[in-house]
């Protein structure tokens, strides 16, 4: 009987959360309540294991950089943790990236993230980048179909600015070598260590960026995405800002509580919070009714 009651509550939670959206619209929600990494992968996620951009050249990416931990602040919830470390060398650098399928385009994206201002161990000061973003592959320099929307937190500054700041970036296109980027940027210049909800509304030729319920900026025009994207999180070190003259190991962590995407619906921050809270109260940890593209698009998790 209890099992039937729980199943009924879960169904009601799904229906209630979807009531915040127009009937028939698709939804992706995950709060990382997995027993292990194998279950995470079975849920549609991919842990990066290939070298390449971004980060320290020839640095390592791999399964040991992603873990699942119990959330000490909530009863029974879990967190996904990205772990990155470096001693300034390629062989001593380990960076983390997690990717979902490339099938997301217009609608609302949001995630609950714990940004870190200081390393878990070792000296602080490296140019570390803590990210949540959507992207499509860059097929060649200045690819006109390239699409990417970013949240990037730089607790130790970098890239010509020494201050802590959160970037909101909408990309038109880019050339990697030599670097030449065309994008629209908002910089929130303040330290943001701790838990935050970041949200993007993508629709009608506009991208609106919200931090903790407050709109920061609106982008659009040629920077509007042109094709379906994957959902990604990563934690990496920029080679332009590695601490000089030290081989001490530095370790950073970035925690994720949940991520959500409402296809083709521009939800307010309050509507997103309501949907997430409804799911979690009923013990619904994973919903994915966003159909794959036909044919399915590759998501290589290497950029």
Buried b (16+ CB within 10 A) or exposed e, 47-72: bbeebeebbbeebbbeeebbbbeeee
Residue 302 covered by a domain: no
- pLDDT at position 200, please? 98
Q: Would 214 be classed as within a structural domain? A: yes
Distance, in Å, from the CA atom of 132 to the CA atom of 273, rounded to the nearest integer, reads 18
Residue 260 in any domain: the answer is yes
Residue 116 belongs to some domain of the structure: yes
Residues of the chain falling short of pLDDT 70:
1-24
Q: Tell me what pLDDT residue 4 has.
A: 45
Task: Look up the CATH number of the domain holding residue 70.
Answer: 2.60.120.200
The pTM assigned to this predicted structure is: 0.92
Specify if 295 maps to a domain.
Answer: no
Check residue 270 and give its pLDDT.
98
What per-residue confidence (pLDDT) applies to 122? 96
In a domain, 297, yes or no: no
Number of domains in the chain: 1
pLDDT in tens, 67-114: 999 998 877 899 999 999 999 999 999 999 999 999 999 999 999 999
294 within a domain of the structure (yes/no): no
pLDDT given for residue 24 in this prediction = 55
Which pLDDT score is estimated for 269?
98
Contact yes or no for 220/205 (Cβ under 8 A): yes
Domain span holding position 236: 2-288
Asked whether residue 89 is domain-assigned, the answer is yes
Please report the pLDDT score of residue 180 as a whole number: 97
The helix (H) or strand (E) run that includes residue 211 is: strand 206-211
**Exposed (0-12), middle (13-18) or buried (19+): which is 244, by Cβ within 10 Å?**
exposed
């Amino acid at each position: 009987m209890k099992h039937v009651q729980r199943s009924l509550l879960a169904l009601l939670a799904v229906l209630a959360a979807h009531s915040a959206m127009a009937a028939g619209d698709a939804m992706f929600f995950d709060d990382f309540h997995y027993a292990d990494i194998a279950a995470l992968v079975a849920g549609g996620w991919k842990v990066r294991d290939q070298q390449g951009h971004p980060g320290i050249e020839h640095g390592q990416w791999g399964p040991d950089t992603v873990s699942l931990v119990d959330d000490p602040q909530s009863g029974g919830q879990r967190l996904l943790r990205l772990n990155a470390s470096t001693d300034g060398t390629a062989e001593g650098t380990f960076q983390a990236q997690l990717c979902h399928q490339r099938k997301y385009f217009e609608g609302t994206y949001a995630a609950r993230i714990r940004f870190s201002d200081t390393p878990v161990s070792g000296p602080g000061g490296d140019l570390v980048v803590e990210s949540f973003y959507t992207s499509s592959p860059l097929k060649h320099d200045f690819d006109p179909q390239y699409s990417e929307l970013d949240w990037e937190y730089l607790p130790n500054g970098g890239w010509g600015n020494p201050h802590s700041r959160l970037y909101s970036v909408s990309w038109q296109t880019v050339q990697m070598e030599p670097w030449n980027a065309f994008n629209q940027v908002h910089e929130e210049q303040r330290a943001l260590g701790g838990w935050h909800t970041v949200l993007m509304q993508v629709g009608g030729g506009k991208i609106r960026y919200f931090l903790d319920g407050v709109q920061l900026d609106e982008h659009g025009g040629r920077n509007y995405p042109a094709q379906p994207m994957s959902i990604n999180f990563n934690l990496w070190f920029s080679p332009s800002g590695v601490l000089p003259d030290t081989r001490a190991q530095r370790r950073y962590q970035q925690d994720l509580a949940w991520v959500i995407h409402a296809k083709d619906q521009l939800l307010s921050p309050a509507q997103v919070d309501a949907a997430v809270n409804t799911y979690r109260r009923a013990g619904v940890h994973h919903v994915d009714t966003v159909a794959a593209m036909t044919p399915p698009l590759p998501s290589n998790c290497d950029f």
